[in-house]
């Protein structure tokens, strides 16, 4: 598990293809690697990856074909900057929100507006994720825990302070940049809880307006 508080910005220095999979090498820059062990997890642009080889200034991880398909890793190349966060430790501060490192979908940067003391960013999420994105709720963008400041359909807006821009890959964003999105875990559990006993039915069953009305969620 992670917190969405980025510890360092790394750089992809190698992408070695192995059939449909690949192994990446990440130069860790300022990330403290002194307590990292083989098999540890490091969130890399929000994707939980397992360390298979490392030294003081880099680590390697294998990226499956499924991960390449479902995240922005398919777009990355040598020199790409990535947000880095080691798995949180029990007893540590939870400065952001609970992040699993399992990407729900890939969004796209729509609009960036620079203000005097903050940056306004609009992101277009996949339509199927829109129901999980709420005003003042939490969302993870490339591994960074952020607060949703406005929602318009599948688009949502973020206010980013200068410190966050400086300490993450956000300063590399431009219109059209694809970003990894992970919605708030609580929203996913609430959706499942609403199913009640019907959760045991085949996954083809879905929450409908009729189901919500029957259980008093709609008037």
What's the structural domain count of the chain? 3
In a domain, 162, yes or no: yes
Give pLDDT, residue 203: 65
Give pLDDT, residue 196: 80
Same domain membership, residue 147 and residue 79: no
* Residue 171 pLDDT level (bands cut at 50, 70, 90): very high
In a domain, 161, yes or no: yes
Same domain membership, residue 12 and residue 72: yes
Indicate whether 23 pLDDT > 90: yes
Same domain membership, residue 217 and residue 153: no
12 CB-side CA count, 13 A: 23
In a domain, 95, yes or no: no
Number of C-beta neighbours around residue 147 at 10 A: 14
Same domain membership, residue 204 and residue 179: no
Last residue of a domain, which of 86, 115, 136? 86
In a domain, 115, yes or no: yes
Same domain membership, residue 216 and residue 156: no
Same domain membership, residue 109 and residue 181: yes
Indicate whether 93 pLDDT > 70: no
* Residues 200, 198: Cα–Cα separation, whole Å: 5
Measured CA distances, 182 to 45, 99, 107, 130 (Å): 11, 8, 10, 12
Indicate whether 89 pLDDT > 80: no
Residue 112, Cβ density class (10 Å: 0-12 exposed, 13-18 middle, ≥19 buried)? middle
In a domain, 92, yes or no: no
* Residue 215 pLDDT level (bands cut at 50, 70, 90): low
Instruction: Give per-residue pLDDT as tens, 107-147.
Output: 999 999 999 999 999 999 999 999 999 999 999 999 999 99
Same domain membership, residue 72 and residue 13: yes
Residues above pLDDT 70, as percent of the chain: 89
The enclosing domain of 79 has a CATH number of 2.40.30.20
Last residue of a domain, which of 86, 116, 147? 86
In a domain, 47, yes or no: yes
Indicate whether 208 pLDDT > 70: no
In a domain, 79, yes or no: yes
Q: CA triplet 5, 158, 95: central angle to 5 degrees?
A: 20
Domain of residue 114, residue span: 105-185
* Residues 22, 19: Cα–Cα separation, whole Å: 7
């Amino acid at each position: 598990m992670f917190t969405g508080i980025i510890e360092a910005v790394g750089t992809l220095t190698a992408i070695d293809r192995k059939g449909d999979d690949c192994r990446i090498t990440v130069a860790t820059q300022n990330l403290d690697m002194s307590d990292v062990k083989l098999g540890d997890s490091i969130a890399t642009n929000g994707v939980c990856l397992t360390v298979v080889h490392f030294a003081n200034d880099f680590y390697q991880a294998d990226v499956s074909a499924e991960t390449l398909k479902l995240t922005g890793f398919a777009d990355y190349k040598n020199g790409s900057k990535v947000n880095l966060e080691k798995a949180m430790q029990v007893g540590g501060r939870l400065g952001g929100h609970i992040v699993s490192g399992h990407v729900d979908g890939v969004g796209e940067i729509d609009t960036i507006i620079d203000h005097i003391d903050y940056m306004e960013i609009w992101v277009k999420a996949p339509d199927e994720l829109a129901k999980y994105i709420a005003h003042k709720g939490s969302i993870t963008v490339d591994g960074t825990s952020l607060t949703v400041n406005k929602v318009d359909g599948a688009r949502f807006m973020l206010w980013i302070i200068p410190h966050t821009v400086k300490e993450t890959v956000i300063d590399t964003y431009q219109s059209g940049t694809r970003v990894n999105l992970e919605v708030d875990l609580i929203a996913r559990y609430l959706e499942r809880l609403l199913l009640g006993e019907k959760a045991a039915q085949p996954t083809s069953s879905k929450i409908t307006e009729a189901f919500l009305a029957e259980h008093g969620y709609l008037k």
